[in-house]
């Protein structure tokens, strides 16, 4: 039963995928992460270095982002954070140089993000729904964003 | 005592731990060109070459920054420039509301002192007069507060649902002395407090306070009490940036405390996504009790973002010194983060 609940977001994402799927982004965390849902504001705070731990400080967050060369990355940050490439790069440079907080790790491929999140309990990343493979990535869960899973009506990153 | 011990153990344990370990190495450098009209001389300067290392593991972060300032050359007969451990600290992250740091820090005072030398992340080549060294009423030049301190720091932030965020820093360290990073010889420690309130619409307000007993002999007293208090404001809306800061400094002398003050206002507006014209007005009053001794200057400049990591800057500083005559200085630089 627990496995079915864990896989439900994956299955939903795959089964309801339209023919031209690809741009939809899924927010993923390690399977051991207790979080179920994340708000748009929390996503913004995590990627802007304002939120370094999950609720009640349970786990330190290690955010990872896809390189800006990928359209998915630009889509995710413009839709989710309302930020463009240059603004984010500048904000991350300030984080890194001031030492205020850890700037997100940059991955070249979605495969790198999946591997990183699977290995790290505090990691948070985003990938396209097409990259989801529940059989291959049993250590990863998809988070609800503002209470909605990918492909549900009103999902933020559809 | 038992409760305090239990609290320390609870802080160190934490309910869960991330397993990630990461070492990041990066840095920045800049090349400056300066022309001083009063002296009619010009010079190039590798002002900063800084290498930063961070190591993150579980709930800890270790941060270090080495600086080679003014292209140092160290020989037996002659020494130029400085090699400095700018910052070296470890951080324990209990939660966003509570982080504890130990080591050497940039003093959390005002908008710029947490990024004091990180030229790629500020618009101008020169910092406002508030951040410079002055000789307000002492025997040698000094800043309004210690640029660095060694000791402890507690920091964190608390946000409400509307994303009103209060950030705080509380620091305790060696005061300013002859060996302030390794041996504190006076009987008091420096105390630092900074509060920053970030409001919606990209408006933030800050309050900073620093107090110490200065052993550097600035005022002629061996252990002069000193304190600085600052207010700052920052507002961004799309391409517009507004900044303003005010700081008041008090130093003990034989006849009592004397005050100095400084402030600036800056306006900048980014055009076409990469070119940012800047205008800044600075004023420094070295002695609140003396009339007509203030220095002020206008800065007019532009910052060109050639890339999010490469910035070309040009600026003219029109100085009006109360006792030194008018002067202007041109500064241009290129800052590169890597």
* Confidence (pLDDT) at B68: 94
Q: At what angle do helices A71-80 and A40-47 cross, to 10 degrees?
A: 120
Average pLDDT over every residue of B178-199: 84
Q: What integer pLDDT is reported at residue B243 of this predicted model? A: 98
Q: Output DSSP code: residue A154.
A: T
Average pLDDT over residues B264-287: 95
Strands (E), B58-147: 60-74, 79-95, 98-106
Q: Note whether A89 contacts B309, CB cutoff 8 Å.
A: yes
Least confident of A72-86, B69-83, B110-124: B69-83
Does the CB of A67 have a partner CB in chain B at under 8 Å? no
Residues of chain A found within 8 Å of residue B158, distances taken between Cβ atoms: none
Structure confidence by residue, pLDDT tens digits, A21-79: 446 899 999 999 988 999 999 999 999 999 999 876 678 899 999 998 899 999 999 99
Give dist(CA A74, CA A69) in Å, integer: 8
Report the pLDDT value the prediction gives residue B13, as an integer from 0 to 100: 46
Per-residue pLDDT, A18: 45
CA distance B104 to B89: 6
- The CA distance from A32 to A147, in Å, is 19
Packing angle of the helix pair A85-98, A71-80 (nearest 10 deg): 80
* Nearest residue on chain A to B310, alpha-carbon basis: A90
> Do B19 and A120 make contact, defined as CB atoms within 8 angstroms?
yes
Q: Which of B18, B165, B337 sits opposite A62 (nearest CB)?
A: B18
Give this complex's ipTM: 0.86
Confidence of residue B14 (pLDDT cuts 50, 70, 90): very low
B97 three-class SS: coil
The shortest CB-CB distance from A59 to any of B18, B114, B115 is to: B18
Task: Provide mean pLDDT across the span B106-113.
Answer: 96
Total-model pTM: 0.86
Residue in B11, B13, B20 to test binding to A, most A beta-carbons within 10 Å: B20
Q: How confident is the model at residue B16 (pLDDT cuts 50, 70, 90)?
A: very low
Residue of B14, B22, B115 lying closest to A97 (CB–CB): B115
Residue A6 contacts B, CB cutoff 8 Å: no
Distance CA A131, CA A1 (A): 24
pLDDT for B282-313, tens place per residue? Answer: 999 988 888 878 889 999 999 999 999 999 99
Facing residue for B95 by CB, picked from A53, A93, A100: A53
* C-alpha span between B258 and B252 (Å, rounded): 6
Instruction: With CB atoms and an 8 Å threshold, state whether A53 touches B87.
Output: no
| Nearest chain B CA: its distance from A17 CA (Å) | 33
């Amino acid at each position: 039963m627990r496995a079915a609940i864990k896989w439900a977001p994956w299955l939903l994402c795959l089964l309801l995928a339209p023919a031209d799927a690809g741009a939809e982004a899924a927010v993923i965390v390690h399977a051991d992460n207790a979080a179920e849902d994340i708000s748009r504001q929390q996503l913004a705070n995590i990627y802007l270095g304002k939120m370094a731990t999950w609720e009640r400080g349970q786990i330190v967050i290690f955010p990872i982002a896809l390189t800006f060369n990928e359209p998915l990355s630009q889509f995710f940050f413009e839709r989710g954070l309302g930020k463009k490439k240059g603004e984010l790069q500048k904000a991350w440079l300030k984080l890194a140089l001031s030492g205020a907080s850890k700037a997100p790790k940059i991955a070249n491929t979605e495969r790198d993000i999946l591997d990183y999140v699977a290995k790290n309990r505090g990691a948070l990343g985003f990938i396209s729904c097409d990259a989801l493979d529940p059989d291959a990535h049993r250590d990863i869960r998809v988070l609800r964003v503002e209470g909605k899973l990918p492909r549900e009506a009103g999902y933020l990153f559809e | 005592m038992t409760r305090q011990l239990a609290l320390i153990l609870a802080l160190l344990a934490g309910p869960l731990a991330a397993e990630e370990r990461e070492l990041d190495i990066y840095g920045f450098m800049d090349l400056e060109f300066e022309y001083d009209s009063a002296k009619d001389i010009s010079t190039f300067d590798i002002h900063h070459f800084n290498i930063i290392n961070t190591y993150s593991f579980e709930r800890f972060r270790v941060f270090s920054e080495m600086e080679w300032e003014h292209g140092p050359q160290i020989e037996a007969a002659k020494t130029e420039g400085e090699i400095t451990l700018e910052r070296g600290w470890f951080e324990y992250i209990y939660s966003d509301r509570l982080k504890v740091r130990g080591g050497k820090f940039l003093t959390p005072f005002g908008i710029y002192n947490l990024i004091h030398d990180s030229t790629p992340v500020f618009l101008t080549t020169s910092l406002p007069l508030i951040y410079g060294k002055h000789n307000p009423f002492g025997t040698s030049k000094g800043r309004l507060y210690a640029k660095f301190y060694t000791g402890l720091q507690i920091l964190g932030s608390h946000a409400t649902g509307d994303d009103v965020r209060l950030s705080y820093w509380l620091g305790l360290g060696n005061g300013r002395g002859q060996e302030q990073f390794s041996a504190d010889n006076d009987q008091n420690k420096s105390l630092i407090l900074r509060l920053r309130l970030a409001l919606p619409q990209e408006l933030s307000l800050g309050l900073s306070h620093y107090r110490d007993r200065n052993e550097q002999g600035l005022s002629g007293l061996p252990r002069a009490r000193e304190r600085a208090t600052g207010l700052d404001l920052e507002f961004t809306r799309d391409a517009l940036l507004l900044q303003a800061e005010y700081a008041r400094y008090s130093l003990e002398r034989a006849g009592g405390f004397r005050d100095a003050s400084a402030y600036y206002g800056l306006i900048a507006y980014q055009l076409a996504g990469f070119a940012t014209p800047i205008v800044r007005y600075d004023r420094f009053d070295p002695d609140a009790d003396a009339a007509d001794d203030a220095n002020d200057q206008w800065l007019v400049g532009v910052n060109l973002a050639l890339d999010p990591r490469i910035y070309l800057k040009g600026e003219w500083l029109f100085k009006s010194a109360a006792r030194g005559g008018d002067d202007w200085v041109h500064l241009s630089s290129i800052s590169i983060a890597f």
